[in-house]
Amino acid sequence: MTTHSHQGGKVFGQLKKQQENDLDSISAEFPEVEEALIQKYKEQFMAYDVNNSGDIDMMELKLMLERVGQTKTHLELKKMMAEVSSNGETITFRDFLVMMTGKKSSILQKILMFEEMTKKPETPKGPPPKKSITDFFNKIKKR
């Protein structure tokens, strides 16, 4: 990889682009995963990879979990890392895809899946709560 530009912003942009290309080539290893889904995972991964190193380290894992409201101890983080990481130290995009596509069951995947579920726009699930409506009418009758 060679970068000829000396402008900081431009270099950063190119690095980002390079990183995206790297992620795309990893995505190619997962032809069974839908394109749109890969795109979503890629965006998630890039957001979690705060320092753009191409992988998620312990510190970034910690931040990632804090962002979804899950503060974990160092020991818990280490355990999660060990479950997902193939090199034992960082989560690569390959590890991330393996995890998110459910090829390997892990606590981290469950947390992220849950986060994804709760993030969706509020759509009423099933029939409206009947009990509260009945309670409401009961209260009126009593008056």
Which of 3, 5, 25, 53 is in the footprint of Ca ion by CB under 5 A?
53
Nearer to Ca ion, 93 or 132 (CB): 93
Q: Which of 40, 89, 99, 100 is nearest to 60 (CA)?
A: 89
User: Please, are residues 80 and 13 in contact by the beta-carbon 8 Å criterion?
Assistant: no
Q: Does 87 sit near Ca ion (CB under 5 A)? A: no
Rounded-to-integer distance, Cα 46 and Cα 134, Å:
49
Which position among 21, 51, 71, 134 is part of the footprint of Ca ion (CB under 5 A)?
51
- Residue 5 tokens read as 């530009």
The first and second tokens of residue 125, run together, are 């699930």
Closer to Ca ion at the Cβ: 51 or 87? 51
Smallest distance, Ca ion to C-beta of residue 63, A = 10
Residue 3: how many CA atoms within 13 Å on its side-chain side?
15
Min separation Cβ 112 and Ca ion, Å? 17
Which region, judged by CB under 5 A, interacts with Ca ion, from 6-14, 21-29, 48-56, 77-85? Answer: 48-56
